[in-house]
Structure 1
Amino acid sequence: MAMTDEAYGALRASAALWAGTSVLITNQRGQILLQRVSYRPTCLLPGGAVDTGESPAQGAARELEEELGVRASVTRGLAVDWVSPAGRTTPPAMKFPGELLHVFDGGVWDEDHIASIRPAPGEIEDIEFVEPADLPGLMSPGDARRALCALRARTNGTGAVLLEDGKPLVPTLLDRVNAFTRHRATHHWPWHEGPVPAGIPVRQCWGWLFAADGRVLVLLDPANGAACLPGGTPEPQDQGDPAATLIREAAEEAAVRISVPGLLGYLPDEHHSGGSCARVRMAATLTNVGPSRPDPATGQTYVRALATPEQVIELFDWGSSAADQLTAVHRARARLGLPRAIRRPLTLVTGDEVLR
Structure 2
Amino acid sequence: MPQLTDQGAIDRAETDGAAIDRAETDAAETDGAAIDGPAGTGPAGTDDHERTGTWMTPEEYGASRAAVWTAAVVLVTDTDGRVLVQSVDYRADRLLPGGAVDAGEAPSAAAARELREELGVDGRYPRGLAVDWIPADTPGFPPEMRFPGEILHVYDGGTWSAERIDAVRLPAQEITGIHFAEPADLPALMDAGDARRALSALRARINGPGTALLEDGRPTAPTALDRLGVLRTRRTPLHGTWHPGPVPAQLPVRDHCGWLFGPDGRVLLLIARATGTAHLPPPTAGPATGAVPLGYRHAAQGSHARTAARLTGLPPAPDPAYARLLATPEQVRELSDWGPAGAHELAAVHEARARLSLPVPTRTPPTELPEDGVRW
Which residue number corresponds to residue 3 of structure 2? none
**How far apart are residue 354 of structure 1 and its match?**
6.1
State how far apart, in whole Å, the 2-side matches of 1:126 and 1:164 are: 29
**How far apart are residue 327 of structure 1 and its match?**
0.7
Per-residue CA deviation, residues 72-102 of structure 1 (Å, 9 max, x unaligned), is 0010000000000123420011111100000
User: Looking at both structures, which has the greater relative contact order when contacts are Cα pairs under 8 Å and sequence separation is at least 6?
Assistant: 1
Which secondary structure state, in structure 2, belongs to the residue aligned with residue 191 of structure 1?
strand
Question: Of residues 216, 235, 238 in structure 2, which corresponds to 1:187?
Answer: 238
How many matched pairs?
Answer: 323
User: Any residues of structure 2 matched to 1:333-348 within 5 Å, and which?
Assistant: 333-348=353-368
State how far apart, in whole Å, the 1-side matches of 2:271 and 2:373 are: 19
Residue identity in the other structure for 1:263: P
Per-residue CA deviation, residues 2-54 of structure 1 (Å, 9 max, x unaligned), is 32222322333xx2000011000000110000000111111100010000000
Which secondary structure state, in structure 2, belongs to the residue aligned with residue 147 of structure 1?
helix
Which residue number corresponds to residue 47 of structure 2? none
Which residue number corresponds to residue 44 of structure 2? none
Residue identity in the other structure for 2:57: T
Whose radius of gyration is greater, 1 or 2?
A: 2
Which residue number corresponds to residue 328 of structure 2? 308
**How far apart are residue 200 of structure 1 and its match?**
1.2
Which residue number corresponds to residue 268 of structure 1? 298
State how far apart, in whole Å, the 2-side matches of 1:203 and 1:257 are: 23
Which secondary structure state, in structure 1, belongs to the residue aligned with residue 147 of structure 2?
coil
Matched, 1:62 2:113: yes
Please, what TM-score do these two structures have when normalized by structure 1?
Answer: 0.88
Which residue number corresponds to residue 289 of structure 1? 314
Matched, 1:25 2:25: no
**How far apart are residue 217 of structure 1 and its match?**
0.1
Which residue number corresponds to residue 234 of structure 1? none
Contact 1:292 1:301 survives alignment (8 Å): no
Contact 1:146 1:167 survives alignment (8 Å): yes
Contact 2:317 2:372 survives alignment (8 Å): no
Please, what TM-score do these two structures have when normalized by structure 2?
Answer: 0.83
Per-residue CA deviation, residues 216-242 of structure 1 (Å, 9 max, x unaligned), is 0000011332011012xxxxxxxxxxx
Which secondary structure state, in structure 2, belongs to the residue aligned with residue 179 of structure 1?
coil
Identical residues among aligned pairs (%): 52
Which residue number corresponds to residue 56 of structure 2? 3
Contact 1:289 1:351 survives alignment (8 Å): no
**How far apart are residue 195 of structure 1 and its match?**
2.3
User: Any residues of structure 2 matched to 1:1-356 within 5 Å, and which?
Assistant: 1=51, 2-12=55-65, 15-231=66-282, 246-247=283-284, 250=285, 256-259=286-289, 261-270=291-300, 272=301, 277-294=302-319, 301-350=321-370, 356=376
State how far apart, in whole Å, the 2-side matches of 1:36 and 1:44 are: 7
Which secondary structure state, in structure 1, belongs to the residue aligned with residue 92 of structure 2?
coil
- In structure 2, stretches of 5+ residues that fail to align are 1-50
State how far apart, in whole Å, the 2-side matches of 1:87 and 1:218 are: 37
